[in-house]
Chains A and B, each alone.
Chain A
Amino acid sequence: MTKVTNVLIVGVGGQGVILASEILTEVATKFGMDAKKSEVHGMAQRGGAVSSHVRFGPKVFSPLIAVGDADILLAFEALEAVRWAHYTNKDSKILANDLRLIPTTAFLSKGTTYPDDPFAELEKSGYHADKIPADQIAKDLGNVRLANTILLGALSKHLDVPEEIWLKTIEARVPKKTIELNREAFQRGRGAL
């Protein structure tokens, strides 16, 4: 890998976006690359939109991905894929969790509403997102918290890093008794498409 890879991970406060981007950054450094991760997490606790920029390659300068320069957009929630789609370009990949979280303040909004189908909204504007049923898979596995690992599994398919590095890094970050479940969740995410 000679060029810098740009992964933008987005979602809603509390969904684990920051943890996922930490794991990705660690995976990249364990693979011997330079890596930078950047986000502003001032109000994340309070239900706001969260985004985290991860860049890795032989040498990384900027901690931020420029608009239109993300190689992969990984969205933990469908509307967030819409919000950040302009960071991608025609060669990018958008992976989005098939989950709709409607903000509490939606009833106050006069103009914009929550779209019935954010994926269709993206298509209308010329973007395509692959739908990852991460929450559904997590429910099947019996623990909604696994959605995070499932999404990382889906992401891992598009990055040229050995699976073992991913699994080792994830295992070090999850409770001991859920290691097996997380392994399975990661594999399900890898095979989700």
Chain B
Amino acid sequence: MKKLLSGDEAIAYGAWRAGVKFATAYPGTPSTEILEAFARLPGIYAEWAPNEKVAVEVGIGSSMAGARTLVAMKHVGVNVAADPLMTFTYTGVNGGFILISADDPEMHSSQNEQDNRIFARFAGMPLLEPADSQEAYDYVEYGLELSEKHDLPVMVRFTTRLAHSKTLVNVEEKALDKELRGFKRDIKKYVMMPIYAIPRHKDLLKRLADVQAEAETSPMQTVEMQDTDLGVITSGVPYQYVRELLPDASFLKLGLTHPLPEKMIRRFAGEVKRVLIIEELEPFLEEQIKALGIECTGKEFTGRLGELTPERLAVALEKAGLKPSFHPVKTPPLPALSRPPVLCPGCSHRATFTALKKTGAHVFGDIGCYTLAALPPLEMVHSCVCMGASIGNAVGVAKAGGSQKPVVAVIGDSTFLHSGITGLLEAVYNNANVTVIILDNTITAMTGGQHHPGTGKTLMGTDAPKVDLETICKSVGIKHLWRLNPMKLNELETALKDSYQIDGPAVIIAEYPCQLYPTRLKRIPMIVDPELCNGCGACLRVGCPAILTTEELSAEGLPKVTIDADLCTGCEVCAWVCKPDAIKFPVLEEVEHD
């Protein structure tokens, strides 16, 4: 059956077809939809792990038990999971194991654009790079077979462009029946202490050599011999762009890119006059092919930054002296007012940062919706490095004594459970003068509303115990803790000021549900009394999409505001900053009738 599937959905269907029974992940754009799609398929188990390291460790366990296993994450997740992965290639697998790395060239929604193909090589994992949804679907099954045959975890690496593009896929109606192999004690394979790790490392090199031999004849590599003046070696989505821009050239399109099929590359290079390497980000293929002594170019034209879009590639090909089928036009965009993403109406993060702004502080941030508070108009997040970094960053600043203001860390609930707890241990152990605010909206909002150990639900929709953040904080040794509703801005402001006076770490748990996930919340919208509004703009500076300026001017000559009743959730943050008290709920009688 032909289906239009995104790359993420294709991975999920492909895994199901190949008999994967066990999948785990921590959400992260652009990989999140893989597990969401997989969890809806019959006869499987799928879960959210607290972070990527745990996901890989659980996946290793599932593979040890002999189940075909899928673990998915965004590119930076692989950094978190690097420790188990680097040794997992030594032990190898029992049930086939696929690691999905969803990279994000152009940083559409990430803090960096690292190229994880290098990770595959670093750890010694065979690497597959699909170029459309059909290949994503097919490569999962192929990868699992490769994994079981060569006793190795296999990485399937693709990018945002593939993850979020829909193309046609031939979907099988039935899943393969793969029996559970069962765990067998084998200390030489599974206990990586030096005495066993040393021989396993040697064995890893042998296993990789076997994969390399297979790569030479693998059906995942395709050769299209056309005009032999130019031969292009490429992989992944860039193949699609270059195939269209140079319709007459010869192509070696690699699907299995680590270990590289040396002989095949030499043969191809020998048959063409000029070799061009087209790849996004790092010169992963190019450096290795140059090391084979093959003359080739690529990065000097394409560069190492961002996504290789068709127009960028067309420019690069012209620079290389070629004639792409599409002549890159240099029409600059017309100036258009930008639409930066903003916190949603009713989002409690707006309240927290409005209060922080009032008290004044240096605020070390983390990753989540609240990172948007770094931008105007709130501008109250002053750093963002990686998930879980906020508390450590704040401790470092406080200990080095480099800030004259109160030092605050802000971290979301999902991020705190992902990698914030160890930071808090550090703050307690070394008695740092920091205030840690846990922004608890009881969901992983940034990535589209996934459950986590604090929400009371699993990915499969069953109930789960709800971990209590206050208990965690107290058990690591936090003595000063406030648990409050940030929408009560006065209480939050007082707690902040009190926490700044404390010697040692303090925690404020700011609890208020996300307005979008798991269900959209809305109360009675507020209204602006045009008689009272003086156009001062204080409400506009909380940055809410529901507040709009009007054409009507106040006595001071400033535009008065109005509130969009469809968007307003009645959260009252704007009312809190309104000096003339112009923002209120509609008259009480109406409220009671509603």
A residues sitting closer than 8 Å to B (CB atoms) are 12-13, 22, 25-26, 29, 34-43, 45-49, 60-69, 79-80, 82-86, 89, 102-109, 112-114, 121-122, 125
Residue from B244, B369, B549 with most neighbouring chain A CB atoms (10 Å): B244
Q: Is the CB of A48 within 8 A of B341?
A: yes
State which size class the interface on B falls in: 35 or more
The docked-state distance in angstroms from the alpha carbon of A130 to that of B109 is 34
Chain B 318-349 residues near chain A, CB threshold 8 A: 326, 328-329, 331-344
Q: Is the CB of A37 within 8 A of B165?
A: yes
Q: Is the CB of B341 within 8 A of A46?
A: yes
Q: Is the CB of B326 within 8 A of A69?
A: yes
Q: Is the CB of A62 within 8 A of B240?
A: yes
Closest chain B CB from A179 CB (angstroms): 22
Closest chain A CB from B28 CB (angstroms): 11
18 contacts between A and B (CB under 8 A): A22-B166, A25-B4, A34-B168, A38-B164, A39-B165, A40-B30, A43-B109, A47-B341, A60-B167, A61-B244, A62-B310, A64-B241, A65-B310, A66-B309, A66-B311, A104-B544, A105-B339, A105-B342
Closest chain B CB from A172 CB (angstroms): 13
Q: Which residue of B lies closest to A104 (CB)?
A: B545
Interface assignment of B94: CB less than 8 Å from any CB of chain A = no
Closest chain B CB from A118 CB (angstroms): 8
Q: Which one of A61, A103, A113 lies within 8 Å of B243 (CB-CB)?
A: A61
Closest chain A CB from B576 CB (angstroms): 18
Q: Is the CB of B237 within 8 A of A63?
A: yes
Q: Is the CB of A47 within 8 A of B339?
A: yes
Q: Taking A35-B4, A104-B544 as contacts, is the C-beta distance between A40 and B168 under 8 angstroms?
A: no
The docked-state distance in angstroms from the alpha carbon of A41 to that of B337 is 20
List of A residues within 8 angstroms of B160 by Cβ: 40
Interface assignment of B213: CB less than 8 Å from any CB of chain A = no
Closest chain A CB from B378 CB (angstroms): 11
Closest chain A CB from B463 CB (angstroms): 27
List of A residues within 8 angstroms of B132 by Cβ: 36, 63
The docked-state distance in angstroms from the alpha carbon of A33 to that of B383 is 48
List of B residues within 8 angstroms of A37 by Cβ: 4, 165-167
Q: Is the CB of B2 within 8 A of A109?
A: no
Interface assignment of B372: CB less than 8 Å from any CB of chain A = yes
Q: Is the CB of B29 within 8 A of A63?
A: no
The docked-state distance in angstroms from the alpha carbon of A37 to that of B162 is 10
Interface assignment of B306: CB less than 8 Å from any CB of chain A = no
The 5 closest A-B pairs by CB, nearest first: A42-B109, A68-B329, A46-B341, A66-B310, A43-B341
Q: Is the CB of B537 within 8 A of A36?
A: no
Q: Is the CB of A102 within 8 A of B244?
A: no
Q: Is the CB of A68 within 8 A of B311?
A: yes
Q: Taking A106-B337, A108-B377 as contacts, is the C-beta distance between A47 and B545 under 8 angstroms?
A: yes
Closest chain B CB from A150 CB (angstroms): 20
Closest chain A CB from B384 CB (angstroms): 15
Q: Is the CB of B334 within 8 A of A121?
A: yes
Q: Is the CB of B332 within 8 A of A66?
A: no
Closest chain A CB from B525 CB (angstroms): 15
B residues sitting closer than 8 Å to A (CB atoms) are 2, 4, 29-30, 108-109, 132, 160-162, 164-168, 237, 239-241, 243-244, 309-311, 314, 326, 328-329, 331-344, 369, 372, 376-377, 448, 516, 537, 540, 543-545, 547-549
Q: Is the CB of A26 within 8 A of B164?
A: no
The docked-state distance in angstroms from the alpha carbon of A80 to that of B333 is 11
Q: Is the CB of A66 within 8 A of B164?
A: no
List of A residues within 8 angstroms of B2 by Cβ: 29
Q: Which residue of B lies closest to A69 (CB)?
A: B326
The docked-state distance in angstroms from the alpha carbon of A125 to that of B109 is 32
Q: Is the CB of B335 within 8 A of A112?
A: yes
Residue from A35, A43, A65, A83 with most neighbouring chain B CB atoms (10 Å): A43
List of A residues within 8 angstroms of B344 by Cβ: 45-46
The docked-state distance in angstroms from the alpha carbon of A40 to that of B105 is 12
Q: Is the CB of B334 within 8 A of A83?
A: yes
Q: Is the CB of B337 within 8 A of A114?
A: yes
Closest chain A CB from B500 CB (angstroms): 29
Q: Which residue of A lies closest to B166 (CB)?
A: A37
The docked-state distance in angstroms from the alpha carbon of A21 to that of B540 is 34
Q: Is the CB of A39 within 8 A of B543?
A: no
List of A residues within 8 angstroms of B243 by Cβ: 61
The docked-state distance in angstroms from the alpha carbon of A119 to that of B592 is 46
Q: Is the CB of B545 within 8 A of A64?
A: no
Closest chain A CB from B202 CB (angstroms): 43
List of B residues within 8 angstroms of A64 by Cβ: 161, 241, 309-310
List of A residues within 8 angstroms of B548 by Cβ: 102, 104
Q: Is the CB of A63 within 8 A of B240?
A: yes
Residue from A48, A66, A82, A112 with most neighbouring chain B CB atoms (10 Å): A66
Q: Which residue of A lies closest to B344 (CB)?
A: A46
List of A residues within 8 angstroms of B337 by Cβ: 79, 103, 106, 109, 112-114
Q: Which one of A45, A62, A69, A103 lies within 8 Å of B339 (CB-CB)?
A: A103
Q: Which residue of B lies closest to A89 (CB)?
A: B329
The docked-state distance in angstroms from the alpha carbon of A64 to that of B334 is 20
Q: Which residue of A lies closest to B347 (CB)?
A: A46
List of B residues within 8 angstroms of A66 by Cβ: 309-311, 314, 326, 328
List of B residues within 8 angstroms of A34 by Cβ: 168
Closest chain A CB from B68 CB (angstroms): 29
Q: Which residue of A lies closest to B327 (CB)?
A: A68
The docked-state distance in angstroms from the alpha carbon of A168 to that of B547 is 40
Q: Is the CB of A86 within 8 A of B334?
A: yes
List of A residues within 8 angstroms of B161 by Cβ: 38, 63-64
Q: Which one of A25, A79, A104, A107 lies within 8 Å of B336 (CB-CB)?
A: A79
The docked-state distance in angstroms from the alpha carbon of A33 to that of B157 is 28
Q: Is the CB of B372 within 8 A of A46?
A: yes
The docked-state distance in angstroms from the alpha carbon of A48 to that of B372 is 12
Q: Is the CB of B340 within 8 A of A105?
A: yes
Q: Which residue of B lies closest to A43 (CB)?
A: B341
Closest chain B CB from A80 CB (angstroms): 8
List of B residues within 8 angstroms of A35 by Cβ: 4, 167-168
List of A residues within 8 angstroms of B544 by Cβ: 104
Q: Is the CB of A46 within 8 A of B240?
A: no
Residue from A47, A68, A82, A104 with most neighbouring chain B CB atoms (10 Å): A104
Q: Is the CB of B241 within 8 A of A62?
A: yes
Q: Which one of B162, B168, B334, B549 lies within 8 Å of A107 (CB-CB)?
A: B549
The docked-state distance in angstroms from the alpha carbon of A86 to that of B329 is 9
List of B residues within 8 angstroms of A45 by Cβ: 344, 448, 516
Q: Is the CB of A85 within 8 A of B334?
A: yes
The docked-state distance in angstroms from the alpha carbon of A104 to that of B377 is 11
Q: Is the CB of B168 within 8 A of A105?
A: no
List of B residues within 8 angstroms of A67 by Cβ: 311, 328-329, 331
The docked-state distance in angstroms from the alpha carbon of A47 to that of B109 is 15
Q: Is the CB of B4 within 8 A of A48?
A: no
The docked-state distance in angstroms from the alpha carbon of A108 to that of B20 is 51
Q: Which residue of A lies closest to B237 (CB)?
A: A63
List of A residues within 8 angstroms of B165 by Cβ: 36-39, 63
The docked-state distance in angstroms from the alpha carbon of A68 to that of B329 is 6
List of B residues within 8 angstroms of A40 by Cβ: 30, 108-109, 160, 164
The docked-state distance in angstroms from the alpha carbon of A188 to that of B15 is 44
Closest chain B CB from A121 CB (angstroms): 7
